[in-house]
Structure 1
Amino acid sequence: MQLMKSNVELASDSIVDRVYEQLKAMAVSYEFKPGERLNEGELAKRLGVSRTPLREALNRLNTEGFLRFTPGKGFFCRELDAHEIFDLYELRKSIEVASVRLAIKRAKDEDIDALLKFLEATGPDPGERSSVELVELDETFHERLMAMSNNAEMLRVLRNVNARIRFVRWIDMDRVNRSNTQAEHRAVVEGLKARNEEACVSVLEKHIDRRLDRITSAIKEGYAQIYMPAARSAAN
């Protein structure tokens, strides 16, 4: 018989989860500067926790690729590395293509129709939405599309990848024509509804592809926003 966790253990898990989410948000948005060493004492005081849950959260973020750890030196904010971001885009493309092939066979018609309604509701016009809000809508679309593959592990990986490229995508979103993006989204879903694997894969690959030079350009702009608070505030 499995023993129930004590209230103390549950409370400890809750603290670690809270600290993890707070630190993850800070790492994703580069509130820590690229390459900056994290001061664990200051962080523990700022977040109102002891070193133990803080270290658990930091180790988890290191394992998931949001921070870097150097033995004897500590935890560091990851650099904005163009080749790493490019690799993550390639990973994203590969799992999304694989998942849509599964979705062709597994997706329910009602789930496909619901995703089409989501596209209609969010519309092709960005309106007054910020880049942060537009990226959130885009991530929601792709995660709902992948969910139709009924593969929870693929979805878990996609969410990790999305978070790790999110800062660059906030920059890149300003260069994207939302009407074209939404048209590609619709084409993928309509191909899925028709169970046309070739059409789905063709559009999805083109939709996700990013050249290294475009990523490098977005990163240069990202560095400017990180080190120029006024520019960063205007972007948000």
Structure 2
Amino acid sequence: MTKRVSSVDRVYETLRDMAINFDFKPGERINESALTSELGASRTPLREALNRLVAEGFLTLAKGQGFFCRSLEPDQILELYQARCAIETEAIIRGIVSASDDAIADLYAYLEESEKVYFTCTDLPELVQMDEEFHLRLAALSGNGELVRLLGNLNDRIRYVRLINLRQIRERHHDNHTDNSSLSAHRTIVDAVKNRDTAAAVKALRSHIERRSEETVELVRLAYSQLYVPSF
């Protein structure tokens, strides 16, 4: 049993990374036979892994047709951003009420440490990971593990588009090479949390997330071009 579970988990993690990065093109039918050969996996663990990814929103299943990569459409990306905003807003409201001063201080310390790397880092995936980590830590102040888990899933599902967005931002600021708008927004959010100012925290958080969601149409267009002419 342990060996079987390990096999399923291994296949799942590999396929999940492929789905996150759109190694399967949007709407593409998943070739199960090719994957069993490529991953050295039998059909049963492969099917279990694919079904898990359907449940998590990375793939779709069409009756009688098989598994397909999720689509990449502006409306769907916008819905994911809206869901992220709702989850993070609920989490920050709860966190302001229940988080200890020490927990908030730890978040502030993480932000200060990440700033030192952010200004010089040129690795886009690492920068996105740093931003996701901040938001997960912020949500964790709520003490609600389900909110954090849901946020993690949403982060994974919009990560590719966020990479495109970050590259676009860096190109716009190529003369200065770094863009500190995200960090400035993060500091505004944390300051409001530290002051236990719910209204200010929610306003800053919503503004920060919605600023990116407003660009979904252009970002999806760029994402499609990136999928076929990759540059990072």
Output the TM-score relative to the length of structure 2: 0.92
- Distance in 1 of aligned mates of 2:109 and 2:213: 34
Instruction: Kindly provide the amino acid, as one letter, of the partner of residue 12 in structure 1.
Output: R
Out of 124, 135, 155, the position equivalent to 1:131 is 124
* Aligned mate of 2:145, from 152, 157, 160: 152
> Structure 1 residues 205 and 225 mapped into 2: Cα distance closer, same or farther (>3 Å)?
same
Give RMSD over aligned pairs. 1.5
Instruction: Point out 4+ residue stretches in structure 1 off by more than 2 angstroms.
Output: 174-178, 210-213
1 CA distance for matches of 2:49 and 2:109?
38
2:203 aligned partner: 202
Contact 1:92 1:161 in 2 (8 A): yes
In the TM superposition, what whole-angstrom CA distance separates every residue of 1:18-48 from its partner, at most 9, and x where no partner exists?
1111101001101111111111011011111
**Letter matched to residue 190 of structure 1:** D
Q: Give, in whole Å, the separation in 1 of the partners of 2:21 and 2:5.
A: 24
1:113 and 2:114 equivalent? no
1:211-230 Cα offsets, whole Å, 9 max, x none, are 666111111111111112xx
Provide the C-alpha distance between the structure 2 equivalents of 1:224 and 1:104, rounded to a whole number of angstroms: 41
- Tell me, in whole angstroms, the C-alpha distance in 2 between the residues paired with 1:30 and 1:201: 32
Determine the structure 1 residue equivalent to 2:160.
167
Q: Give percent identity, aligned residues only.
A: 43
Equivalent residues of 1:83, 1:212 under 8 A apart: no
Secondary structure at 2:180's aligned position in 1? Answer: helix
**Residue deviations 1:184-225 (CA, integer Å, cap 9, x gap):** 111111111111111101100100004666111111111111
Task: Quickly say closer, same or farther: Cα 1:210–1:74, change in 2 above 3 A.
Answer: farther
- Give the count of matched residue pairs: 223
Which piece of structure 1 moves more, 198-207 or 118-127? Answer: 118-127
> Shift in Å at residue 128 of structure 1?
3.1
Question: How far apart, in 2, do the equivalents of 1:137 and 1:204 lie?
Answer: 17
The residue correspondences of 1:1-236 to structure 2 (distance < 5 A) are: 9-123=1-115, 125-176=118-169, 178-210=179-211, 214-228=215-229, 232=230, 234=231, 236=232
Whichever residue aligns with residue 219 of structure 1, its letter is V
Three-state SS of the structure 2 residue aligned to 1:75 is strand
The alignment partner of 2:61 has SS state of strand
Distance 1:50 1:161, change over 3 A: same
Distance 1:195 1:211 in 2: 25
In structure 1, runs of 5+ residues without a counterpart are 1-8
Q: Is the 8 A contact 2:121 2:127 kept in 1?
A: no
